[in-house]
Structure 1
Amino acid sequence: MVFRHTAIYLGILVAWSGAPSVQAEEFEKNKDVIVVTGSRVEQALGDVAGSVNVVTEQDLEDELAVDLSTAFRYQTGINATGNAGQAQALNIRGMGGNRVVYVKDGRRVNDAYDGGQGLLVGRGYLDVDGIRQIEVAKGAASSLYGSDALGGIVVITTKTPTDYLSGGDQYVSLQAGFNGLSDETSLSGVFAKRFGDNATSIQLTHRDGSETQNYQETLPEFDYQSTALVLKSQHSLTDTSLLLASVDYFRQETEQLVDLGSHETQDDNSNVSFSLAYKSTLPTLAYDNLDAQVYITNFEQRSDQLRAGNGRSGPYIDSNNYRFEQQIMGAKLVLDKVWTADSIKNQFVYGVDFERYDTVRPRLKSRFDMSGQSVFLNEPQKAFPGADTDMLGIFVQNNAALIKDTLDLQMALRWDRFDMRAKQSSLYSGEFKDIDETAFSPKIGLVYSFTDSLRVYAQYAEGFKIPPHDQAYQSHGVEPFYQILPNAQLAPEYSEGVELGLRGDFDNHQFVFTTFNTQFDGFIASKLVRSEATRIPGVNKAYYQYQNLSDVEIEGVEASYTVWFSDQFAIDGGVTYMHGKDKVNDSYLESISPLHGYLKAKYELGDLSFTAAMRAAKKMDKVPTENSAKTPGWGTLDLFAQYRFGHWQVNGGLFNVLDKHYTHYNSVAGQSVEDDLSQYSQPGRHFAINFKYAL
């Protein structure tokens, strides 16, 4: 359906590209953006045979982003779920949760467990201050990044000491902000200093906020505070080699009080990573550039809860201590070599990745009667036993200039092996089998340049996702109602994607038009395997198991266009259309977003700039069943302003200026039409402001 009209669309855009030229140096161009998601080495965005969205440090500042969700307001093909103070995740072309890989500064972000609605509880806890760039490669990326890159990859890069110093010897900045989305106040500071051959930077951010409210402001509030610290030390060994040591720490605490003593929650999420990287640009026979890294990450999520209940013996108070802990030890080696044969320039990128995951999921419960006497203490509760997982990947990619400055061929292949072993625990009576799998992931792409400014690309790529430990080894239930059975026969999920696109990068305008079609095989979902009568009349016990059940197809169109009318005035817009179905059940996917888009107009006058931004989405009525929730169409208006004077910079924003009542479909996908969905509505009018001093 999508590819049927591709030739017509491409023809229109080729003709459209002949507009007059005006130079606008102040605005960033795609041809100047450097990314690493296309080949795992630096590459111009225009040379990538695939779709990559980029959010820069400047974007984060201009749009007053405070987290992942607010960083991707104005992007094609990407939606965010979760709010400030909570776990957050990105949905890429209808794929989210554990089907998208996250990498921060070369390290895999902690795994997590399925929390429902596409969210992985435990992911998305990071701070955006100090981020240089976020890249999102849309579509399968397993040929370079391995498992989990079924639907895409998110690569987050923070600034190094030399990024801050920019050739100088010292850098200092302070910034303070307020964001009415969650009444968050923030304070951040950066200090960077050069000491001979060494450059060191420290970035510290603290935030205090509360629950992101719905439009009616009826949600039970919680308070949160977070602290982020990034310490990096970069030492030049020679003119062509360096060491980079880093410590990345993040902690967020939330507290919710609904009823004193009977409904209280305290969550504590912490993540600390230690990394050592070595880079060399001294050419050898084996490589021109070498990038090696070893790291260790410790993540812990802890939730302490008080919950009132009433059983056969009377009322009680449960004290729950739920935790999710994961340690990752990783190593990577990435090399590239340029080699010319028969007048064809080849850039080979090859290397190896290794990760070892140690995952546990302790759950303890204590119960007290209303007089405060203990009924039982620290009784273990079932969920899944945790697992030890080893993942090894070997990859190679060749970027070949078949016709200089005209036709490039990009081919990649990766071999992965993973071993997953359940933790031994007396809590679980069943025997869990080891899961050993291997996978090959190929990719091939072509980039053809009509001119230096107009290019067409095509790409075929495959992806895969290993069975997650929380689904393969899930083993718990509530007597006598249901039981979830483990399944050691789970196989990986696979995807095959085809993409065709056209890019134009001209002096006064640029555009990207993309059509895509992706087939996903072996989707893992929960299935009712049997039902048994219980001792309670009329009550049957249901037994569920995660199995490879569904085959899914997603196709769509994305388009973005930017035009500079002068050095001061520019307009930028984008639109996304997607269509997705579960082919086994012939039902619409709940993870697909309705037709949506954005339009921004920016005017610069010296050190002062103004931006008006509109977002809109069509009503969503293509839902899995008649009883599934639907959402009406909506549109909002946001206003931004920025002023620079001396060493100071002030950014301000007014969001949902017209105070519209609306709900994102992704927030209610999977809910029943009979449910009260008011809690998922978006906040009304609010403002944000940020002050920054840099020296």
Structure 2
Amino acid sequence: MKTSSSISKHVLSPLSLAIVAAMPAALTADENKQDNYTTLDSVVVTATKTEHEVATAPASISVITSEQLKEMPVSDISDAIRHSVGVFQVKNGNGRQGIGIRGLGSAYTLILVNGRRVNSVNTLIRGNDFDLSTIPLNQIERIEVVRGPMSSLYGSEALGGVVNIITKQADNQWGGQVSVDYATPEGSGSDDGNETRTSISTSGALIEDKLFLSFHGNKYDRDAWTPFQEDYTTTTINERDETGLEDRNSTNANLGLTWKLTDNQTVDFEYGYGHEDRKSNFEFKGSNGITDHETRRDTYSLTHKGDWGWGNSQIRYYQEETEFKERSTTVPNGDATQTNQVVDGFITTQFGDHAITTGAEYRTSELDNDVNLKTTGSADVSQKALYIQDEWKLSQDWALTGGGRLDDHEFFGREFSPRGYLVYTPTEALTIKGGVGIAFKAPTLTQLTKEYSIPSCRGRCTLIGNPDLQPEKSTSYELGFTYQGNSWDLGATVFRTDIKDMIARQSEKDENNKKRDIITYENINKARIDGIELTGSVDLTDSVFLTANYSYTDARDRDTDNRLATTPRENVNVRLDWEVDSKLGTFTQARCIGDQKTRGNDNLPGYSLVDVGVTYQLTEQVNLRSGITNLADTRLDKKDDNFDFVERGRTFYAGFTASF
């Protein structure tokens, strides 16, 4: 087993090579430098539901801007934020991936779109990354990533952190964009692993200063990538999917209308549509199988916002309906529909040095599934919440944010989640901040429902729910600083999270079939996660910019002292950008993922990925981009047989964006 020091040496050495070999960056013009590389001055809203600059916001926050998204070769939201500090991709078979924050998996990360929950967790309990793939990337204005618990505002699922996708808003000026991107892995056949994305967006005023429309659409097609095919003819591979990346075809669209009732009141209506098909083949102990999943999502929201003399208000209703169809060969086939409905609202008002935010939420979730809910065919749950927050400006240099949220869950009753955070700004350049928060994560509807029964483990086990589960609870602490110089910035944060009543799967033999296991959920574990996060950037010259971040995470089961599975010990990201001139830019970025444990407690070695790219502003309206991802063609199956996921091999990509 490698020591921490040996891991650090292994992880950091490719970074030096990446920087030296850099064919750097993807910028379009000098005037965009501030937006692209300096995010400490960005305005964010997720941590408090009020506006703050990143440096002085009462939380640890990263921001990815729309300009940065244009430069990145990404497939979905997890690709877009994977280079952020404290973030790691939770990868599953067939290329599905979620977002983990500070050592906790994707189940502990709350996904929001403009503050609205996106949650289809009950329709598919394994490898569910559909929440990340239904948001058109060209619709995004920025992505705010809050590291650490935010249950004091958002309740359950925000135990690890929050990812809030802020979308673009329409104004009087009509305009839009069309983007086309194509990528192909090296050595592919005519269609093996090729992917194409086409996006279109437009917005403007139907009635000047009164009624605005926005539309965003995205079509994505990826052919299956099968890097292991030849291996099957010569070797025996234990439980490895034949399809490294599944065949995936999706269509997503969003229509928004904003009606300005008066100078201080607006009404927003949004409709979102998403449809996705995914297919893959696998081989298990000599037998072949097929997974075939179809998902459709429809979302509706109606929001009223007011800007009053005494403060601001918002009230909103939204509904999300997700339909999942199973057409696989190893499990019973059928349909599942999850319907979520939410009414929420909040008011913010100023009392002297205090900004008080109070809010409420009522939420219901219903699951219809006559395949896995064999008795009733359906299950539902409701919960309601009240919260209050006080942002107190103690002095010119000190600010204290405190608050709490009381959730009342239909099944397990009331949970209170308080939080306190102190920010000290002794100079304009230096910010010191830290806080403590208590959070919880409610069991999912399928985990709580005893009649829920689903075949798993390639048919070797059956997974059932447990109505006696209690929420997972955590207490988190963090302390950090940021310093912003004239041409450089630096930040560091240390944190600790203690979790009790962690939900884990427990297995026992089926009394009626000794070859089959019965698996259920139990509150049995305690965990502690300690870590440090470092960030920095520097303008090496007027045209060359270096950004980097490093995270060290020690995530352990306190009962056994074993490391938590699928949690890399170290993550390092380095990016070097070069503005060759006002039109041409290049970049090199390296991502190093440290060693980790499998769910079977096997060791997985660390590995590194390097991408290079170039952008060119052909005309004022047309921007071109091209590059190579995974330049060194890192293949995880060649590093260790215990990897149950893949990184796509060396891949060439090209695309353009045309504005109108």
| Fold-level similarity (TM above 0.5) | yes
Q: C-alpha displacement at 1:680, in angstroms?
A: 2.6
Does the CA-based 8 Å contact 1:477-1:483 persist in structure 2? yes
Matched, 1:44 2:53: yes
The residue correspondences of 1:85-100 to structure 2 (distance < 5 A) are: 87-100=96-109
1:648–1:173 CA distance, 2 compared to 1 (3 A): same
Higher relative contact order (CA 8 A, sep 6+): 2
Matched with 1:346 is 354
Q: C-alpha displacement at 1:172, in angstroms?
A: 2.6
Does the CA-based 8 Å contact 2:147-2:161 persist in structure 1? yes
Work out the CA distance in 1 between the residues paired with 2:50 and 2:421.
Answer: 16
Q: C-alpha displacement at 1:124, in angstroms?
A: 2.7
Does the CA-based 8 Å contact 1:69-1:82 persist in structure 2? no
Does the CA-based 8 Å contact 1:508-1:563 persist in structure 2? yes
Select 1:283's aligned residue among 306, 309, 318: 309
Matched with 1:296 is 319
C-alpha distance after superposition, 1:44-85 (max 9, x if no partner): 111222211222211211112221232123111111234898
Q: C-alpha displacement at 1:494, in angstroms?
A: 0.3
Select 2:497's aligned residue among 518, 522, 533: 518
Matched with 1:587 is 562
Matched, 1:633 2:606: yes
1:283–1:228 CA distance, 2 compared to 1 (3 A): same
Q: C-alpha displacement at 1:383, in angstroms?
A: 10
C-alpha distance after superposition, 1:587-609 (max 9, x if no partner): 21114212120111111121211
Q: C-alpha displacement at 1:255, in angstroms?
A: 3.7
Work out the CA distance in 1 between the residues paired with 2:638 and 2:424.
Answer: 38
The residue correspondences of 1:245-644 to structure 2 (distance < 5 A) are: 245-256=269-280, 263-284=289-310, 288-306=311-329, 320-340=332-352, 345-363=353-371, 382=374, 386-404=378-396, 406-419=397-410, 435-475=411-451, 476=453, 486-528=465-507, 539=514, 544-604=519-579, 605-620=581-596, 623=597, 628-644=601-617
Amino acid at match of 2:223: S
1:232–1:74 CA distance, 2 compared to 1 (3 A): same
Does the CA-based 8 Å contact 1:384-1:470 persist in structure 2? no
Matched with 2:13 is none
1:271–1:569 CA distance, 2 compared to 1 (3 A): same
Does the CA-based 8 Å contact 1:213-1:682 persist in structure 2? no
C-alpha distance after superposition, 1:295-318 (max 9, x if no partner): 1111111121345xxxxxxxxxx8
Q: C-alpha displacement at 1:321, in angstroms?
A: 2.2
Higher alpha-carbon deviation: 104-113 or 382-391: 382-391
Work out the CA distance in 2 between the residues paired with 1:70 and 1:114.
Answer: 23
Work out the CA distance in 1 between the residues paired with 2:567 and 2:43.
Answer: 30
Matched with 1:183 is 194
Q: C-alpha displacement at 1:277, in angstroms?
A: 1.1
Amino acid at match of 2:356: F
Q: C-alpha displacement at 1:173, in angstroms?
A: 1.7
Please give the secondary structure, in 1, of the residue aligned with 2:55: helix
Give the TM-score normalised by the residue count of structure 2: 0.84
Work out the CA distance in 2 between the residues paired with 1:384 and 1:548.
Answer: 26
Does the CA-based 8 Å contact 1:113-1:122 persist in structure 2? no
Q: C-alpha displacement at 1:651, in angstroms?
A: 1.7
Does the CA-based 8 Å contact 1:30-1:505 persist in structure 2? no
Work out the CA distance in 1 between the residues paired with 2:391 and 2:324.
Answer: 42
Matched with 1:73 is 82
Work out the CA distance in 2 between the residues paired with 1:253 and 1:462.
Answer: 39
Q: C-alpha displacement at 1:171, in angstroms?
A: 0.4
Q: C-alpha displacement at 1:575, in angstroms?
A: 0.6
Higher alpha-carbon deviation: 261-270 or 566-575: 261-270
Work out the CA distance in 2 between the residues paired with 1:113 and 1:559.
Answer: 36
Q: C-alpha displacement at 1:470, in angstroms?
A: 1.4
Amino acid at match of 1:36: V
C-alpha distance after superposition, 1:501-525 (max 9, x if no partner): 0111222111221100000010111
Q: C-alpha displacement at 1:36, in angstroms?
A: 1.6
Q: C-alpha displacement at 1:526, in angstroms?
A: 2.2
Amino acid at match of 1:64: P
C-alpha distance after superposition, 1:317-336 (max 9, x if no partner): x8x42333111111111221
Give the TM-score normalised by the residue count of structure 1: 0.80
Work out the CA distance in 1 between the residues paired with 2:593 and 2:412.
Answer: 43
Matched with 2:239 is none
1:97–1:658 CA distance, 2 compared to 1 (3 A): closer
Does the CA-based 8 Å contact 1:253-1:266 persist in structure 2? yes
Q: C-alpha displacement at 1:272, in angstroms?
A: 0.9
Work out the CA distance in 1 between the residues paired with 2:348 and 2:539.
Answer: 37
Please give the secondary structure, in 1, of the residue aligned with 2:82: coil
Matched with 2:650 is 685
1:253–1:457 CA distance, 2 compared to 1 (3 A): same
Please give the secondary structure, in 1, of the residue aligned with 2:569: coil
Q: State the percentage of identical aligned residues.
A: 21
Please give the secondary structure, in 1, of the residue aligned with 2:387: strand
Work out the CA distance in 2 between the residues paired with 1:129 and 1:418.
Answer: 37
Amino acid at match of 2:471: P
Higher alpha-carbon deviation: 350-359 or 210-219: 210-219
Uncovered stretches (5+) of structure 1, i.e. residues with no partner: 3-22, 163-167, 308-317, 364-379, 420-434, 666-672
1:113–1:578 CA distance, 2 compared to 1 (3 A): same
C-alpha distance after superposition, 1:99-143 (max 9, x if no partner): 2211112321123149778x4465433232311122221111100
Amino acid at match of 2:656: F
C-alpha distance after superposition, 1:137-190 (max 9, x if no partner): 11111000001111111211221223xxxxx52103211111236411122212
Amino acid at match of 1:690: G
Work out the CA distance in 2 between the residues paired with 1:109 and 1:533.
Answer: 39
Does the CA-based 8 Å contact 2:100-2:108 persist in structure 1? no
Amino acid at match of 1:392: K
1:381–1:129 CA distance, 2 compared to 1 (3 A): same
Does the CA-based 8 Å contact 1:184-1:208 persist in structure 2? yes
- Count of residues paired in the alignment: 601
Q: C-alpha displacement at 1:566, in angstroms?
A: 3.6
Does the CA-based 8 Å contact 1:84-1:212 persist in structure 2? no
Q: C-alpha displacement at 1:263, in angstroms?
A: 4.6
Select 1:205's aligned residue among 214, 218, 235: 218
Q: CA RMSD in A?
A: 3.1
Q: C-alpha displacement at 1:567, in angstroms?
A: 3.5
Does the CA-based 8 Å contact 1:484-1:543 persist in structure 2? yes
1:199–1:83 CA distance, 2 compared to 1 (3 A): farther
1:349–1:51 CA distance, 2 compared to 1 (3 A): same
C-alpha distance after superposition, 1:385-424 (max 9, x if no partner): 54211121111111111111x01111011111111xxxxx
Larger radius of gyration: 1
Work out the CA distance in 2 between the residues paired with 1:658 and 1:485.
Answer: 43
Please give the secondary structure, in 1, of the residue aligned with 2:631: coil
1:478–1:683 CA distance, 2 compared to 1 (3 A): closer
Matched, 1:26 2:33: yes
Work out the CA distance in 2 between the residues paired with 1:151 and 1:121.
Answer: 17
Does the CA-based 8 Å contact 2:503-2:522 persist in structure 1? yes
Work out the CA distance in 2 between the residues paired with 1:503 and 1:384.
Answer: 54
Please give the secondary structure, in 2, of the residue aligned with 1:26: helix
Please give the secondary structure, in 2, of the residue aligned with 1:398: strand
Higher alpha-carbon deviation: 519-528 or 451-460: 519-528
Does the CA-based 8 Å contact 1:24-1:508 persist in structure 2? no
Select 1:656's aligned residue among 627, 630, 638: 630
Select 1:148's aligned residue among 154, 157, 165: 157
Work out the CA distance in 2 between the residues paired with 1:634 and 1:416.
Answer: 42
